[in-house]
Amino acid sequence: MALVEIKNVRKNYGPLEVLKGVSLDVEKGEIVTIIGRSGSGKSTLLRCINALETINSGEILLEGQSVSTSMDGLRQMRQKVGIVFQAFNLFPHMTIEKNVTLAPILTGKTDKRGAKELAFSVLERVGLADKLNAYPEQLSGGQQQRVAIARCLAMSPHLMLFDEVTSALDPELVGEVLKVMEGMAAQGMTMVLVTHEMNFARNVATKLVFMHQGRVWEQGDPKTLFANPQTPELKSFIGHHAR
Amino acid sequence: MPNFNFRPLWRYEDQFIDGVLTTLLLTVSATAIGLVIGIIGAVVLRSGPKSARIGVRAYIEIIRNTPALLQIFIIFFVLPTIGLKFSPIQASIVALSIYFGAYASEILRSGLSSIPPSQIEAGLCLGLTRWQVLSRIVLPPAIRNIYPSITSQFVLLLLGTSIASQVSADELFHAAGFIDSRTYRSFEVYALTCGIYFTLVVFFKIVFALVGRAVFRWPTRR
Amino acid sequence: MRQFSFSDLIFLATALEWTFLMAAIALAFGVPLGLALALARTSGSTVLRLVASAFVELIQGIPLLGLLMFFYFGIPVLAGKDVPTVVAVGAAYTIYTAVFLGDIWRGGIQAVRQAQWEAGACLGLSWLQQFVHIIGPQAFRIALPATVGFLVQLIKNTSLASVVGLVELARAGQMISAGTFQPLLVYTLVAAIYFTICFPLTTWSRTLEARLNGAR
Ligand SMILES: Nc1ncnc2c1ncn2[C@@H]1O[C@H](COP(=O)(O)OP(=O)(O)OP(=O)(O)O)[C@@H](O)[C@H]1O
Ligand SMILES: [Mg+2]
């Protein structure tokens, strides 16, 4: 059983159909990168997995269970799925430690005493253990994004979703975030990420998904697809993004 | 040079003090009730059913576009004709609460919508309940954003309670009228009264500034 | 006891003239004074800034009712002779208007970026030229919504002149209500008149505000 099973999902905003029957499996431990032109539905797909958007037809199974529509079921599910956005979305009024420990405490994953240790250990994983008492506004973009990742890690997620997490960063800050993500990949985290970082897609990912006009246009082994795209659309996409 | 004489006023120290206390009672009650109205109003404006939203909008517009003096008259003189009788103090509290509630609704609504939806999403994605997201993530920065406008509205309310004197609620301004009628020292009485209001305002402004600085410690952009 | 009649409507209309007259006097004298206050508070002179700020702080710290009484009783004492009520009331509303508009406009002037002054200075413009041609128009656009919003406050607050016996709209309503024992009818009517004047202004202010935010 795959960790995530996406079966023929359709999604429209009003008259605009954004996902036109998407099917995709994510196995445990897999690193799936989704690439594709702007507007092809990548973000929408990620948001559907996390039920931030409701789907119009089809089905999404997480660990064999259909994504619930009840508020309680949704919360249970979201506690297992971490998502990081392009805009870091840290909570400006909380210290880094509070940002990281808020959800584990409120959802009963840890008590206040354990929270401090938890904060230290996840922040150490992203290289920011010295920033426990800083506020988000006092950090650089790259640091904020690493805190956002740590905030998810503190919930010990089974699956991590990343939506263009390096796109808003200055070029010199991209590397530190990618390094953290590579570290997570090496430790066996299941990850689905939308990215324009072709090197990451080629070298770290275990599966490449090319989306085009609301469909999974091509998918397979990254190195094979990069070397040998089957469709003219992927070929031209790679052509545009190759450096 | 006209000769001022504040001495006759000293005998009325008690009246001044009682007046100040009543003024504070009116201000604090109307703020408390008005904030409750404001919270309900803001929530309805944001996510209530359409008919309720229209109702709240109408309430806000009617209150904000008519004089508070008239509102207090209507509560005190008109409502008794349909069997709702209030004492001057009660009528003043009711009128001022309704008045403050209209402004508070608008301010609180703007506070809630000043928080980007992405903050709410981030909270929901961590598996928090809607209530947890509201209380832990949305409200603290929202309250900080509206703190200046809600506190200056409080000051305007404090000064505005003086109109309660017009339905003879015995607050500070009413006390001034009484003392004026006894001493015939109109100018001195009202100069002193204005001084007392000013002192109260400065006091609250200082308190609000200190509280604000103590509570809102996190750095913001710019 | 008598019935509410046509002559009462005429009476209200006459009183409404006083309401408008008070607002007009307040604006006629309050606008230039308010502009002066705004300029003083944004000027380079520390003394000027402090004095103007203290004055604004003082007036904004006392009730308008208090201001009215202060002038009503104070002018005769200070001037040594009686003046018509309109003059005392007009003076109070002028000060009130000047202080609130001055505060709004100061905000507008300060919202125009420092770089704009510097740009003006680089062009070799005098301080006055910089203000008239560069800063003023921008500040005016920024402050216009709040200025219109204040107009609503001013019109509503002319009702307080009734306290010193000026027969404007609210006072006229009180008198008719007392004469006819029909407070519900009379006060609703008077409230409706205020609403009819103020609501379009509020709406206009909000439209300006939205346009301003959209343009940014
Ligand atoms: N809330 C929404 N309401 C209406 N249309 C939307 C909404 N969100 C996205 N869309 C539309 O859906 C389409 C797919 O959007 P999506 O954000 O999934 O694209 P994307 O592949 O992530 O693009 P990008 O690379 O620019 O982020 C776009 O045409 C977009 O305009
Ligand atoms: Mg996207």
Listed residue (B182, B166, B202, B147) closest to B76, CA to CA:
B166
Q: What is the CATH number of the domain that holds C200?
A: 1.10.3720.10
Instruction: Assess if residue A83 is contained within a domain.
Output: no
**Nearest residue CA, atom 8 of ligand 1?**
A44
Q: What is the pLDDT of residue C117?
A: 76
Q: What is the pLDDT of residue C113?
A: 77
d(CA B172, CA C180): 31
Q: Domain containing C189: what range?
A: 6-215
The overall average pLDDT reported for chain B is 94
Count of C-beta atoms within a 10 Å radius of residue C178:
11
A35 bridge partner residues: A210
Instruction: Assess if residue A78 is contained within a domain.
Output: no
Number of structural domains (chain C) is 1
ipTM of predicted complex: 0.92
d(CA C154, CA C62): 16
Listed residue (A98, A102, A105) closest to A131, CA to CA:
A98
Which residues in B lie closer than 8 A to residue C73 (C-beta atoms)? 186-187, 190
Instruction: Assess if residue A90 is contained within a domain.
Output: no
Q: What is the CATH number of the domain that holds A11?
A: 3.40.50.300
Summarised one tens digit per residue, pLDDT across range A159-177 is 999 999 999 899 889 999 9
**Nearest residue CA, atom 7 of ligand 1?**
A13
Contact assessment for residue B92 and residue B161, using Cβ atoms and an 8 Å cutoff: yes
Summarised one tens digit per residue, pLDDT across range B128-181 is 999 999 999 999 999 999 999 999 999 999 999 999 999 999 999 999 999 999
Give the domain ranges of chain B: 13-215
- Report percent pLDDT > 70 for chain B: 98
Is the pLDDT higher at B64 or at B6? B64
Residue A146's contacts (CB-CB under 8 Å, 6 or more residues apart) are A126, A127, A128, A176, A177, A180
Which residues 21-40 of A have a C-beta within 8 angstroms of B? none
Nearest to C65 among B61, B162, B186 (CB): B162
Q: Domain containing A45: what range?
A: 1-70+160-170+188-243
Q: What is the pLDDT of residue B222?
A: 56
The residues of B whose Cβ lies within 8 A of any Cβ of C are 2, 61-62, 64-71, 73-74, 77-78, 81-82, 155, 159-160, 162-163, 165-166, 173, 176, 186-187, 190-191, 193-194, 197-198, 201-202
Instruction: Assess if residue A104 is contained within a domain.
Output: no
Instruction: Assess if residue C140 is contained within a domain.
Output: yes
Q: What is the pLDDT of residue C82?
A: 84
Summarised one tens digit per residue, pLDDT across range A54-103 is 999 999 999 888 877 777 888 888 999 999 999 999 999 999 999 999 99
Domain B13-215 listed as CATH 1.10.3720.10: yes
For residue A182, pLDDT over 70 is answered with yes
d(CA C43, CA C35): 12
